Amino acid sequence: MTRIAVVEGDGIGHEVIPVASAILETLHPEYEYFSVDVGFHRWEVTGCPCADRDIAELKTADAILFGAITTPPMKDYQSVVLRLRKSLDLYANLRPVKGNGFDIMIVRENTEGLYSGIEEISPDRATTLRVVTRTGTERIVRCALRLAHKRKGKITVGHKANVLKSDVLFRDICLAEAQAAGISCNEKYIDALALDILQHPASYDVVVTTNIFGDILSDMASYLVGGLGLIPSANIGDRYALFEPVHGSAPDIAGKDIANPIAALRSAAMLLAYCSDHTGSDRIEAAVQAVLARGIRTRDLGGSAGTREFGEAVLLALQQGE
């Protein structure tokens, strides 16, 4: 039996994840769903945002539907997201940005770079070690190349090798792997790439880059489709997979029933595709498009629908086969 872990997390995760999980349960009532409670709110109550037993429970799932997590700027607070990525070795972060005339897949290295977690903090200095390894780079670019092979057959490597020696290693490995695979590859400095994606999105297919660059690049690219409320992501490893909206926990709007659940719904669609149900994945996207076509939108898209109202409309469209 397919087992799906559902993690609402913090903030608006408690609103958008129930919408997405309801859709999954409608399409696959035969799946086994179970909840795992981690996040800042858990830390406030217990002093531990994510315990070893939570990691062990998540490892029993075939896939994880994950909400947003609040990470406070406290030096003694361990990021739940970073811990999960490392504990489950979710090295590939896939962030699709698809709109009118363009379809970009941003492939972000997910376990190294400036999010290495290796830091020193003193009253007068804070140091974060940026880690780029051959092993980490080879496996992320090979993931990007596999995707490119199924798509348009080209990748773009985003880097800052003119300044960072660690990016020289990243760039050179990516170019060598692409050449060996026979995949068309070009490279751009990350700042120039960011601008060009906004100006000419149709020129790009698969973009591979390091951790923090991929984080920023995908958030920026969300502008092309209407904002962070619409962008899903997949965190993929060799054994485990976690699917989450790109947006954060948005505590300023939490509990107000105004958050856009589309990113969570599209994350659920990516989860189904990972579980080999491509038809179900396509049905979710078709239902979302049908609801938008009827003019039903949340406030961030200029509408007045609440989170639950939008979710109910998508569920109805799904049931009616729209």
| Neighbour order of strands in the sheet with 241-245 | 32-35, 3-7, 63-66, 241-245, 232-236, 92-99, 102-109, 206-209, 154-159, 184-189
Determine which one of 89, 103, 196, 219 is catalytic: 219
Name residue 65's amino acid. Answer: L
Residue 45 to residue 47: CA distance in whole angstroms = 6
Backbone region of residue 287 per phi and psi (left: phi > 0; alpha: psi in -120 to 50; beta: other values)? alpha
Determine which one of 152, 165, 191, 238 is catalytic: 191
Strand partners, 159: 189
Residue 298 to residue 290: CA distance in whole angstroms = 14
Give yes or no: 252 in active site. Answer: no
Give yes or no: 215 in active site. Answer: yes
Determine which one of 91, 115, 240, 274 is catalytic: 115
Other CB atoms within 10 A of residue 40 CB: 20
Give yes or no: 10 in active site. Answer: no
- DSSP assignment letter at 298: B
Spell 98-107 as b/e; 16+ CB within 10 A means b. beeebebbbb
Rounded (10°) angle between helices 134-150 and 165-181: 40
Determine which one of 10, 54, 205, 215 is catalytic: 215
Give yes or no: 282 in active site. Answer: no
The structure tokens listed for 220 are 């920026």
Is the distance from CB of 133 to CB of 112 less than 8 angstroms? yes
Determine which one of 10, 91, 160, 188 is catalytic: 160
Give yes or no: 191 in active site. Answer: yes
Nearest residue to 9 (alpha-carbon basis) of 212, 211, 251, 227: 251
- Catalytic residues, by residue number, are 115, 160, 191, 215, 219
